[in-house]
Amino acid sequence: MNNPVTGFSKLSKEEKINWIAKEYFSTPSEAILLLKNYWNSDEKIQKLHDEFIENTITNFYIPLGVAPNFLINGKYCTIPMAIEESSVVAAASNSSKFWSTRGGFKATVVNTEKIGQVHFIFKGDVSKLQLFFAQTKAKFYEQTESITKKMQKRGGGILDIVLQDKTNLLPDYFQLHATFETKDSMGANFINSCLEQFARILKEESLAYNLFTETEKNLQVIMSILSNYVPNCIVRAEVSCPIEALAEKHITNPQEFAERFVQAVQIAEVEPFRAVTHNKGIMNGVDAVVLATGNDFRAVEAGIHAYAAKSGQYSSLSHAKIENGIFTFWLEIPLALGTVGGLTSLHPLVKLSLEMLENPSAKELMQVVAVAGLAQNFAALRSLTTTGIQDGHMKMHLNNILNQFDANDNERILIRKHFKHHAVSHSGVVELIENLRK
């Protein structure tokens, strides 16, 4: 790029594409063709996608797969998963099959409280600020009724507002710390609207408060925003069965397997280097369902990883134990999800995914997502403590390598036949392709 572009956002999509192709690609026509090949042939759907974000030039596709036969709280469901990583959907499906004959998954929503904060600076007498808040608190509820009215009809709304002194962290730093119930919506817009109203009330009322000095009246609101850390919006998922019931093709000694499995989890509980990879496996399942159902997987990731470090050291999100001959494996994670609002009513595949899940409530979706994470983690740990993870993963990855080298149909047949009896590795596949082509 030789010169910056001005007024880019005002260009049409065609003009944006033409500029990018000309500016960055040696063969602009090929770049333009590639971008247009990923447009949806249905103009109405394409227009919908174009308006989700700014400066849209094309669609970036991620496969949408399904993991069937999940028995959750006594009911079967098929879980939609949007993800590009090989073996994730297969692993989830294997876990669902394994546990469907051993009692299935049990999931419980522990709490659904969400959080928002008004961050402000107050220079003055803290006791006067506390008295001011106590006398003003009712107004925060009263003057947000126009915002909360509909949410209250659905059983949600503002749960509480507290003044928090954070001056031990930063000089003169305070918060209005508010908790919310948003029912089936994720509630980001609702919460932020309430918080901005709180900030306005806080500022206006402080200016009129006659016990404040002029300095104290000059209260500075820094920002008002929801928190994606929701440690009181928790869902638990678990599986359990007698140790002997764990027996299967790759588990010939159930007692030994259970003990190794528990030890593997314990390592992730105490060793952050292992915990990060361990939890990444959980998020393979979680993110795939969150994305398929139109929820904010970045917010979910941030909140869950903060929760994993709540003790001061990053640790495993899942836990396992053997007690009285019973093997139990479980996780508890914070999940702020919605099934109404946002993309849930706009994106055609999100609507399809939610319909596939029989239009769940936010609580029901929390349970499904947590189960997907636990299933993924079980599959990974079962492989790690038995056959090793690379064998199954690389076999699933074989297609990607074949596509990378444009293998023809005959080459694919011969290569797949060869690797039925040999470990798959990238170098091994490349060497075989080269030999076949000689």
Q: Give the residue numbers marked as catalytic.
A: 85, 280, 296, 393
Render 393-430 in DSSP notation, one character per residue: HHHHHHHHHHHHTT--HHHHHHHHHHTTSS---HHHHH
C-alpha distance from residue 21 to each of 9, 26, 58, 256 (Å):
16, 8, 13, 59
Helix, strand, coil percentages for the chain (3-state, nearest 5): 50, 20, 30
Mapped onto helix, strand or coil, the DSSP state of residue 116 is strand
Strands (E) across 73-219 are located at 75-82, 106-109, 114-121, 157-165, 173-181
What CA–CA distance (Å, rounded) separates 193 from 112? Answer: 19
Residue 92: helix, strand or coil by DSSP? helix
State the Cα–Cα distance between residues 46 and 275, nearest whole angstrom. Answer: 41
Q: 258: which residues sit within 8 A by CB, 6+ positions away? A: 243, 246, 322, 327
Neighbours of 108 (CB within 10 A): 15
